[in-house]
Every structure is written in structure tokens, then in C-alpha cells.
Chain A
Amino acid sequence: MDEFQEILQDFLVESFELIEQLDQDLVELESRPDDLDLLNRIFRVAHTIKGASSFLNFDVLTHLTHHMENLLNMARHGDLVIDADVMDVILESIDLMKALLVRIRDSGEDSGLEVNPCVIRLDAVANGTSLGETVPAPAAPSTPTPEPKVAVATSEEEPDYSGMSDEEVEAEIERLIAVRQAEDAAKRANSAKSTTPSAEEEPDYSGMSDEEVEAEIERLIAVRQAEDAAKRSNKAQEPESVKPSVAAAPVAVTPPAAPKSEPAPVAKAAPAPKKVEAKDDGENRGGSAVEQTIRVDVKRLDHLMNLIGELVLGKNRLIKINDDVEERYEGEAFLEELNQVVSIVSLVTTDLQIAVMKTRMLPIGKVFNKFPRMIRDLSRELNKKIELEITGEETELDKSIVEEIGDPLVHIIRNSCDHGIETPETRLAAGKEEGGTIQLKAYHEGNHIVIQIIDDGKGLDADMLKSKSIEKNIITEKEADTMSEKEAFGLIFRPGFSTAAQVTSVSGRGVGMDVVKTNIEKLNGMIDIDSEVGKGTSMKLKIPLTLAIIQALLVGVQEEYYAIPLASVLETVRISKDEIYTVESRSVMRLRDEVLSLVHIGDIFEVERVFDNSEHAYVVVLGLAESKIGLIVDSLVGQEEIVIKSLGEYLKGIEGIAGATIRGDGGVTLIVDVAALMQMAKSVKSTVGQESAEAKSRGGAKNSASDYCVMIVDDSKTDRTIMRKALEPLGITLVEATDGVEALNILKQGDHNFDGMLVDIEMPRMDGYTLAAEIKKYNKYKNLALIAVTSRTGKADRMRGVESGMVEYITKPYSPEYLMNVVKRNIKFNEGL
């Protein structure tokens, strides 16, 4: 049964691919009804699906496609003129076919959909317009039953298997294989001349035993593979393209096409289809450059992408380690070599990442293809004249994004048709052309793909949008007053918003644009609307090219770091605290001609803010879909390539966090979910203005000498004791640590609030310079006085000390008084206590 499933999968994949092309072709066909190429292509789809579905016992589908095939065949022979009415029936039947295929994909069977009315219409069109024709007339009645048995029996030369015993059947198979092999050999010898008249005879499956079915399956696979190959070669040689799979109507096989009908029969008997394909390539393509493709399960690509993700993390780590090593062993010969290796690894990793990303890329045309048909249907339905212009359909983007982008585009285009483009009368009255145009553009812009939907319709009226929103209680009048034009355009994305006076089948429910916004946000994309009343509307979707590995801006708040997807970062600005205004308990700032609402990242993520006296703040301006917000952070760390990892089942769905990534130093950094953050920002209490006051009160709480706290870091017990003895008279709290690692741990535990630290330079595990550098990474230790106490007296050592953040440099030996004074000065010891 597995084999059957596999075939079914193949069948579905192939059918959906065929159908995708079909829509486009059909719409084109309406404007060029006598284009034989197009007709043939369409016919072939119906035919292929019919053939395969009859084999898979999908009777309903077979029944339908058979009649479609009939009709199309007539058109192909010029017995039927395709006009709008005929087209409607054909389109209807194709929709039905799609529905059936979807049903098959979902439930594995094709029952439950009524096809008969459509079949009757198909037949009616076929008969009604082809009076006096001899060819189609007998064809239609002779094969009305859905049973493949009957449909096939007429042209079959195969014996009736149902009456045979197993042995006989075996023998028969053997015989047939032998015959076919002989045929095959003959044909190969005969080179490109086809001898078998019919490539598509369908035996009676219902009467077959399992083995026979299996053999049949093999044969059909071979046939299909050969067809694929033929199709590919057809693409290269557009004219006389369709003949090979048209073989069911032997009359149609004209001499020039003869060589091409060959692959099918060959494949039929070939035990190794691959070989046939190769041979076929050589013959049919005649050396023309045809794209070599291979179908790969998406799961494998996903897996590959995950592995690359790990590699990128490894690379980031390697770079970080390289930097550290460089610092420590400056000027050593092996550094050069290490540098080279690291840069090669990082270069190759980047290339590899791009290469794998490219394998996942699909042209956006895959999504665009369905729109011509949609526009056609909509314009008929709405009685408007709408023209669709597509450019940039070859622009590629990640498969997962292609899948997500379809729905939003459908909604936007429907919206443009329904609300944007006016009726022909209105357009004429307004001095425009009768027919409206919708342009669909796709192009790359840096690491983004931009999809633009431009209509020349009536445009958005900001005032009208506002009043509608007030009417529907989406915004208050006060909000409306302060809204800019752009913000007003953004109202169309609010759930429940609709400008349509009544709900039509096309739009008016107020759901569509909300879907657009949600989906685009999911992709970390942005929406930009531009509109002018009477001229039209332009909607710009800006979407990152890929999702798995992203560029992020790393920001710091206190000692925590967060990664913000760079796709959502519009700009970063450094402002002074006076530039922050409070309006109705919300913090805002003026950014050029806009008012930007602000939120502190610490308020969103409940970061305990200990210390922040700086005059300046960094604001990361975030944009998502159509909204903007300013996020205040303590520091900007830089841009890094990050790989999104999930937080796992236990922690999933944490508001504001999209996932985590592993940084170069092996630590975990959380990734900000910009969409959720914007939501949270609305309800967060602002503390932007208050923090400095708070910080001040914290800093000044020294009531007795023991409130001062100094750490002594030295690996020598003697040295520690000397220092302790020197400082004890002050009455301050003293804590000892034996090396840098221990000192750092004590500091991080936060049991004491240290004012100063006496640091030896030469220590095991972590030396004084490294310790100082580590400590200075943390914002909250900014005011901690680091005093080096060392026997190293070189100027270079002093320089290094200053560089790593030491404020004083005491050389051993020293007098206790000197030490005491230096400490007193640096911790601002209050003698009065």
C-alpha cells in the first residue's frame, strides 16, 4: 500500500503543479482563443490528470476530466470556438477539478462533490456549438461512463485479464515484458522513429491481480517520468510541443511530432527509467541547455538549513575566540595562521549559507500566477474593467515565505478590485480611462523583497477612514484628531474595519486586511501605504528574504542583551533625556516631523534597573507592518547574524519573545518579537522619566562606615592580609577573593554593594586586566572603582591597566597609609561617619 501512497503523492504534486500553470494559460487563452500551443497545453493537463486518476481509481475525477478533455479536444481541432461562455464552463470545471484534487489530498478519496451538473454543461457546450461535426459527436456519447474500464476498452488491444488464473497472468506479464523489451530494443535501433501508435492505452485495472497492478504501477511511473522529460524538452522547443502526451488521440500525431511521442513507449518497457530519460535528453534536446532539476523533499532542505544554522553559530563562536586569542597572544606567529583559518571558515560558511538558502528559493511567480485568473473573475463579478500588470515574477524568495505571502496578496488585490478601482462609468466621469489597472511588482531591495500593489483607483480618503473608524468604535474622536495621514491609512488593517456599505461576496466583512497585517507581521515584514484621493493607492510589502538565519541588532539593558530582528529596525537615534516628553503618561519624542511613542525595553521585559545616570539614551526605531515605535535601550552592541532557536515546549509563547539564539560567547540571547512588543508597549507603565531620580536615591544610601564595601582580589594570602590590615582602621566592610573568577562570582552574587576593588594583576585563572574588562562590561558596575595593586611597574602595564578600566595603579611595595588614602579617595569615603 505504501507504494500506492507514493504514487498518489507524486500524482498530487504533479497535478497541482500542472494546475498552477493552467490558470494563467486559460486567461491568456480567452484573449487568444486560436493559440494552438496554449490549447494543447491546457488539453494536456486535463488529459494527464485523467490518465493518472483513472489509474488511481478516482472515478469522479476521471469522469470530469474526461469530459473536459473532450471539449478541449474539439477546441483544439477547431471544431469549437472558445468564447466567454465556453470559457466560464471550462473554468468552472477546472475549479471543480481543483476541489477534487484538494479532497483527494486531504481525505484520499474524490467522492462527495457533485460533478454531474458541470459535466452536463460541458457536454452541452460541446454539442451545442459543434453541430454537423462528425468527429466529436460519436466521441462524446461513446465514453460517457466514468468507469475507466469502459472508457478504455474501445481502443484496447490487451487481453481480458479477469478471466485468467494466476499462472496465466504471470505468463502474460512475462510475455508482455518480453514484447516490450523487444519493442524497446527495436525502437532504440530505430533511433527517433516512433512505431507504436498509442502510448496511452489503459488496461483494465479492475480485473487485475496485485502483481499486475504492481507491474502496471511500474509502467505508469516510467511513463510519467518519460512524460516529465518530454515536457521539459517541450519547454525548450515551444512549437509542436504538446504532441507526446496527446497520443490518446492518435490522429493528432503528425509527422513532425513523431520523434517526440517516442519517450512514452520507450519508457513503458524500460526497466530503468533513468537511462531512458538520459537518452531522451540527448535526443530531444539536441544539446540545448535545459535546466537540470531534481525534486527534493522540503524536510531535507529544512534539515540542511538547521545544520547550516548550527554552523553559523559555530562560526560566530570561532570569531569571538579568535578575537580573544588575538588580544592575549599579540604578535605571536601562529596568530596569522589562525586568522587565515578563521576567515576561510567564515567565508565558506557564509557562501554555504547563501547556497542552501538559494536551494529553498522559489520565484514569486508561483504566487502571482493565480492572480490573472482572480482578476478576471472579479472583474466579471463586479462589472468592472480591470487589467493586471505583473512585473518581477522571477524574483525569488524563501519557500516558507512564498507559502505565507499568498493569502495577504489575495486580500490586498481583492481589496483593490472592490474598493480601489471604480466602475467604468465613474472612471469615465472622473476623466480616467474606462479600465482600471492594478500593477503587481516584485523586486529585491537589500536583504528584503518588496512586493508592490499599485492601483489607479479612487485612493484612500484619510478623513473618510477616520470617520468610519469612529463610527465603528475602532478609535475615539480624540485619537482621530491626532492621527497623521499615514496612521489613518493604517486604520484599514484594524479588525472589524470596513468601508464597504454592505457585505458583498468579495469583501466588506472587515477581516481581509487584518489577515494581511497578521501574516506580514509573522514574516517580520513591513507595510507601507501611499495613497492620493482620485489617483490611486500603492501598498508596499517589505519582507525579509529568509526566516531561519537573520540579521539582528543586539541591544543591552543593564547586563542583559536582546536581539532585535534587523528587518524591523528602521533606524537608531541617540537622544538626550530632555528630548523625551510625557504626554498623558506616555513617553514620546519628536523624530523629524513625526511624534514617536517611546517605551523602555526594561519596562517591557521587567529588567531590574539599578543604575542609569547617563544623559543620553539610545532609541531603536522599530517598524512593523504599518506601525512604528521607539524602543529605549541602554546600549547598542552591534549587528550579528543569529539563528533562531525555539525556547522549547516549556517556555513557548512567552509574550514579547520570539525565540533565542546562541551567541559567540556561548551565552543565550533572547530574540525580541517585535509585533508582540508593540502590543505590550500599549499597556506598559512608562518609567522613562523617573528612573534617574530612583537611581540617585539608591546611590546615596551610606549611613555608616560599614556601608562601604571593598573587595580585595589577590592570589597571595600574605598580600591579602597586608591590604586588610591597612584598610581595617577605616571600619569598612572587606571581602576577599583569590582570583578573578572568584571575584567576578562574588560580585555577581550581589550580596554586597561594592564601592571599590583592589586588584592584583598576576593571578591564576583570570588575571586583573581580564577581570577589569569583564566588570566594565556591566552597566551597573560603572561606578565601581578598580584599583590595581601590582609589582608590575612598566609603562605598558600601566597603559593596559587604564585601557581595561582601572582608575588607580598602586605598585608594590606601598605604605599602609598610602593604600588607605587611595582607597578613601576612590570610594568617596565620607570621613564624617
Chain B
Amino acid sequence: MSEKLQQIINKQNKALSGDDVKIDEVIQLVGFIVGDEEFSVPILSIQEIIKPISWTRVPQTPEYILGVFNLRGSVIPLIDLRSRFGLETQKHTEETRFIVMKNGDDVAGFVIDRLTEAIRLPKKDVGPAPDTINEEESMIDGVGKQADRIITILKVGKLLERNF
């Protein structure tokens, strides 16, 4: 009995470690457009993506914080990425989405212009953020190259960090 069990466990372990290798090689991202640029965040940092719903303004906050909204009973801050990135704000369209991202216990919704696709990117195609950007301040984790386009990978931790 225990031998059998051991065998199964071994098999599972092997299968798991096999997966590990694959995961290591490829990172999965979700791409989206804000302004004219395509950004992405790791798929695992996304809690969910919803269509825009109404929110409540919170006073005494920077302009890019639109307010808070109700996500099935939780009160969650809503941040406009356009205005966070210093772009002109724009009316929400049919394609506008809220991406709810989490990092540990920190959760916030981000308004993006539209989603593009889920991206599987080999790790070797991801380069570091441009040198000119201060390492500490940067919201950019790295830059992914795929065929003819460049995808900026964002630091979710930095996005969820309060900076006011």
C-alpha cells in the first residue's frame, strides 16, 4: 500500500517538476492598451477583469484615484491608469475595462482603455527596463519583445503602492 502510494507521489513530483521547467521558461502576461502603448502584467497578479461599473469619488486624493467601487461586497479603490501615467483622461468606451490586480493583501482596480490578449513570452525575450529610469521609482519591471512589437511589463507591486 505504502509502496504504491510512494510511487504515485514520486510520479506526481516528477510531473510537477516537469511543469516547473516549462513555467520557468515562459511567463504569461495579460496585455492591455493605455493611451497609445501596450502594457502587460503577469496573469497571476490579476484577480479579475470586469466591465466598468459605477464608483464613488473619494475626496482628498490625487486625480488619478477615481474613487472606490463595490466588488461583491468589498470596497476597492479605482485608479485611472491614463491619468496615473500622465496622459489625458478619456471618456470610458465600450472597450474600457477595470482590471482588478492584487499583490498580497493589496487590491485595486485599474481603468484601462482596452484589453489586447493573453501573452506567453519566453523568459529570454524579456529584457530589463531602460537604464535611464530610476530603478526605485520605475513602475516598469521589464520589456518583452515579441515579433514586431514591444510590450512593457509593469510592476504590480509598484502600481498598488500608495504614493501620496
Interface residues of A, Cβ cutoff 8 Å to B: 310, 313, 560, 604-607, 645-651, 654-657, 660, 662, 666-670, 749, 751
A642 CB → nearest B CB, Å: 12
**Which of A655, A656, A670 has the most C-beta atoms of chain B within 10 angstroms of its own C-beta?**
A670
Asked if B75 contacts A647 (CB within 8 A), the reply is yes
Residue with the greatest number of chain A CB neighbours at <10 A, chosen from B59, B68, B91, B106: B59
* Other-chain residue from B55, B61, B65, B91 in contact with A668 (beta carbon distance below 8 A): B55
Q: Can you offer 12 A-B residue contacts whose CB atoms are under 8 A? A: A310-B73, A560-B57, A647-B75, A648-B76, A648-B77, A650-B108, A657-B58, A657-B60, A666-B70, A668-B56, A668-B75, A751-B91
- Nearest-neighbour CB distance to chain A for B114, whole angstroms, equals 18
Known: A667-B56, A668-B75, A749-B91. A649 touches B105 (CB 8 A): yes
Report the separation of the CA atoms of residues A656 and B105 in the bound assembly, to the nearest whole angstrom: 24
- Is B32 an interface residue when CB atoms closer than 8 A count as contact? no
What B residues does A310 contact at CB under 8 A?
A: 73
Residues of the A chain whose Cβ atoms lie less than 8 Å from the Cβ of B73: 310, 313, 662
Residue interface mask B57-86, A partner, CB < 8 A = 1: 111110001011110011111000000000
Taken together as a complex, chains A and B put the C-alpha atoms of A657 and B68 apart, in Å, by 12
Closest to A749 in B: B91
Interface flag for B33 (CB, 8 Å): no
- Measured CB to CB, the nearest residue on chain B to A660 is B75
Are A669 and B56 in contact, with the CB atoms below 8 A? yes
Which of B56, B74, B106 is in CB contact (< 8 Å) with A650? B106
Are A667's CB and B54's CB within 8 A? yes
Question: Closest residue of chain A to B162, judged by CB?
Answer: A650
| Nearest CB on B from A633, distance (A) | 15
Known A607-B59, A668-B67; 13 more pairs at CB < 8 Å = A605-B59, A647-B58, A648-B75, A648-B76, A650-B108, A650-B160, A651-B162, A654-B60, A660-B56, A662-B70, A668-B69, A668-B70, A669-B56
Leading 10 A-B pairs by shortest Cβ distance: A605-B59, A668-B56, A660-B75, A650-B77, A645-B75, A606-B59, A651-B77, A668-B70, A668-B68, A650-B162
| Residues in A whose Cβ lies below 8 Å from that of B160 | 650
Q: How far is the CA of A648 from the CA of B74 in the complex (A)?
A: 9
Instruction: Let me know if B107 is at the binding interface, CB within 8 A.
Output: yes
Tell which of B75, B76, B77 has the most Cβ of chain A within 10 Å.
B75
A670 to B68, CA, bound (A): 9
Q: A310-B73, A660-B75, A749-B91 are in contact. Are A670 and B162 (CB under 8 A)?
A: no
Residue of A nearest to B92 (CB): A749
Q: What CA separation (Å) do A749 and B52 show in the bound complex?
A: 14
In the complex, chain B residues whose CB is within 8 Å of the CB of A648? 75-77, 106-108
Q: Which residue of A lies closest to B91 (CB)?
A: A749
CA distance A604 to B59 in the complex (A): 8
Q: How far is the CB of B92 from chain A (nearest CB, A)?
A: 8
Determine the residue in chain A with the shortest Cβ distance to B67.
A668
- B 74-112 binary contact with A (CB < 8 Å = 1; else 0): 111100000000000001000000000000011110000
**Least Cβ–Cβ distance between A286 and chain B, in angstroms:** 51
Name the CB-closest residue of A to B107. A648
Q: Closest Cβ of chain B: how far from A212's Cβ, in Å? A: 33
Other-chain residue from A646, A649, A670, A751 in contact with B56 (beta carbon distance below 8 A): A670
- Is there an interface contact between A651 and B61, defined as CB atoms closer than 8 Å? yes
Give a binary string over B125-150; 1 marks a CB under 8 Å from any A CB, 0 the rest. 00000000000000000000000000
Bound form: Cα–Cα A667–B70 in Å: 6
Give the chain A neighbours of B58 by CB distance below 8 A: 647, 651, 654, 657, 670
Q: In the assembled complex, which residues on chain B have CB atoms less than 8 Å from the CB atom of A662?
A: 70, 73, 75
Q: Which residues of chain B have a CB within 8 Å of any CB of chain A?
A: 54-61, 65, 67-70, 73-77, 91, 105-108, 160, 162
Task: Report the bound CA distance from A667 to B105 in whole Å.
Answer: 23
Residues of B near A660 (CB, < 8 A) are 56, 68, 75
Closest to B53 in A: A666
Contacting residues, chain A, for B60 (C-beta < 8 A): 605-606, 654-657
B68 touches A647 (CB 8 A): yes
CB-CB < 8 A to B105: which residues of A? 649
A424 to B36, CA, bound (A): 84
In the complex, what's the smallest C-beta–C-beta distance from B13 to chain A, in angstroms? 30
- Closest beta carbon of chain B to A428's beta carbon, Å: 58
Chain A residues near B107: list those with CB within 8 A: 648
In angstroms, Cα B58 to Cα A606, docked, is 10
Complex Cα distance, B54 from A310, in Å, reads 20
Min C-beta distance of A559 to chain B, whole Å = 10
Interface centre among A313, A650, A655 (most CB of B within 10 A): A650
Q: List, in ascending order, chain A residues with CB within 8 A of B59's CB.
A: 604-607, 654, 656-657, 670
B residues in contact with A666, CB < 8 Å: 70
B57 / chain A contacts, CB cutoff of 8 Å = 560
In the bound complex, what is the Cα–Cα distance between A650 and B76 (angstroms)?
9
Residues of B within 8 Å of A604, CB to CB, are 59
Q: What residues on B are CB-neighbors of A649 within 8 Å? A: 105-106, 162
Per the bound structure, the CA–CA distance linking A654 and B162 in Å amounts to: 12
Q: How far apart are the CA atoms of A605 and B57 in the complex, in Å?
A: 10
Q: Is there an interface contact between A654 and B61, defined as CB atoms closer than 8 Å?
A: yes
A558 to chain B, nearest CB (A): 10
Please indicate the chain A residues that have their CB under 8 angstroms from the CB of B67 in the complex: 668
CB A784 to nearest CB in B, in angstroms, measures 20
Min CB distance A715 to B, Å, is 18
Give Cα A660–Cα B61 distance, bound, in whole angstroms: 15
C-alpha spacing A670/B65, complex, angstroms: 15
Q: Which residues of A contact B108 (CB under 8 A)?
A: 648, 650
**Which of A313, A648, A668 is packed against the most chain B CB atoms within 10 Å?**
A668
- Complex Cα distance A656/B58, Å? 10
- Residues of chain A lying within 8 A (CB to CB) of residue B68: 647, 651, 660, 668, 670
CA gap between A666 and B56 in the complex, in Å:
11
Q: Kindly state the separation between the CA atoms of A654 and B67 in the bound complex, as whole angstroms.
A: 12
Bound together, the chains give a CA A606 to CA B59 distance in angstroms of 6
Which of B54, B65, B70, B75 touches A646 (beta carbons < 8 Å)?
A: B75
In the complex, which residues of chain B have a beta carbon less than 8 angstroms from the beta carbon of A646?
A: 75
In Å, the complex CA distance between A265 and B130 comes to 77
B65 to chain A, nearest CB (A): 7
A173 vs chain B, min Cβ distance (A):
32
With a cutoff of 8 Å between Cβ atoms, the chain B residues found around residue A670 in the complex are 56, 58-59, 68
Give A660 to B69 CA distance when docked, in angstroms. 10
Smallest distance from the beta carbon of B101 to chain A beta carbons, Å?
A: 11
* Min C-beta distance of A38 to chain B, whole Å: 51
- Residues of the B chain whose Cβ atoms lie less than 8 Å from the Cβ of A751: 91
**A749: B residues at CB distance < 8 A:** 91
B106 to chain A: which residues have CB within 8 Å? Answer: 648-650
Bound together, the chains give a CA A508 to CA B27 distance in angstroms of 65
A647 / chain B contacts, CB cutoff of 8 Å: 58, 68, 75, 77
Residue of B with least CB distance to A654: B60
User: What separation, in Å, do the CA atoms of A605 and B61 have in the docked complex?
Assistant: 10
Query: A607 to B60, alpha carbons, bound, how many Å?
Result: 10
A660 to B71, CA, bound (A): 13
Q: How far is the CB of B58 from chain A (nearest CB, A)?
A: 6
Closest to B76 in A: A648
Q: Smallest CB–CB gap between B59 and chain A, Å? A: 4
Closest CB of chain A to B109's CB: distance in Å? Answer: 10
A681 to B162, CA, bound (A): 26
CB closest residue in chain B, given A605: B59
**For residue B56, which residues in chain A have a CB less than 8 angstroms away from its CB?**
560, 660, 667-670
Cβ of B75 to closest chain A Cβ, rounded Å: 5
Q: Which residues of A contact B76 (CB under 8 A)?
A: 648
Q: In angstroms, how far is the closest chain A Cβ from the Cβ of B53?
A: 8
Complex Cα gap A655–B77 (Å)? 16
A657, B75: Cα distance in complex, Å = 14
Residues of A within 8 A of B61 (CB): 651, 654
Report the separation of the CA atoms of residues A650 and B59 in the bound assembly, to the nearest whole angstrom. Answer: 14
C-alpha spacing A751/B89, complex, angstroms:
13
Residues of chain B contacted by A645 (CB below 8 angstroms): 74-75
**CA A669 to CA B60, docked complex, whole Å:** 15
Cβ contact within 8 Å between B65 and A651: yes
Contacting residues, chain A, for B162 (C-beta < 8 A): 649-651
Q: How long is the Cα–Cα vector from A749 to B91 in the complex, in angstroms?
A: 7
